[in-house]
Structure 1
């Protein structure tokens, strides 16, 4: 397991399904999170790919199997995330077809939209090989 993945898992709390059957988790990244090292040294901002990895880690932890990011259909970023800020990631509209899982994810800080994604993941042997 990569250091980045370990740190994302360590930053995650409260992974659960809510009443609307959405998969939800909270994340709080410390000042020392590896993703902040080059993004940006004097004004640390959580990289967009780390936000996408939050979605991936949530799916892997919930499904107990490896997932491979196959396609970013859409990614919209609205606000930066800085060290110590708590964000909530909500995965909705999970559709599983064959060896693919299509999801829509929404990241918020309090009631403020941070990012929205439409992502396609593959799982099973294909994901384990990557």
Structure 2
């Protein structure tokens, strides 16, 4: 994985929680932006899909996104919490940092790459 998965928990069958950190040497920060690196939104979405795939023990691909909102910039080394609810490859998600919303929305995942 391109991020550090600190913990992964499934408190209920339809719920996933994870703590993650993206180190400053991640390729996602290359050129985005040289003097003030931030984690691109697409990387945040990929991270959510990867965490769901890890919890479900399968490779999953983003099929569709709904109502996605980016609320805060993510800097290298910040501790992020990912909260996911859903089944049948339909998930609502929220990424937070220190209880502050970073990103949230809904995603549909598929086991096939399109």
Pairwise same-fold verdict (TM > 0.5): yes
Deviations along 1:70-119, one digit per CA (max 9) or x if unpaired, are 01112100010101110101001x131xxxx1100001111111110210
Counterparts of 1:69 and 1:78, CA distance in 2? 21
Alignment root-mean-square deviation, CA? 1.6
Counterparts of 1:85 and 1:122, CA distance in 2? 29
5, 10, 21: which one pairs with 1:28? Answer: 21
Cα deviation, residue 18, structure 1: 2.7
Aligned to 1:109: 97
Please state whether the residue corresponding to 1:7 is helix, strand or coil: coil
Cα deviation, residue 41, structure 1: 1.2
Aligned to 1:3: none
Point out 4+ residue stretches in structure 1 off by more than 3 angstroms.
Answer: none
Counterparts of 1:109 and 1:20, CA distance in 2? 24
Say whether the 8 Å CA contact 2:90–2:109 is kept in structure 1.
Answer: yes
- Whether 1:42 aligns to 2:30 is no
5+ residue gaps, structure 1, are 1-5
Deviations along 1:10-69, one digit per CA (max 9) or x if unpaired, are x11111113695201111111101100021111111111111111111111111111111
Q: What TM-score, normalized by structure 2, do the two folds share?
A: 0.91
Indicate the structure with greater helix content: 1
Say whether the 8 Å CA contact 2:14–2:87 is kept in structure 1.
Answer: no
- Whether 1:15 aligns to 2:8 is yes
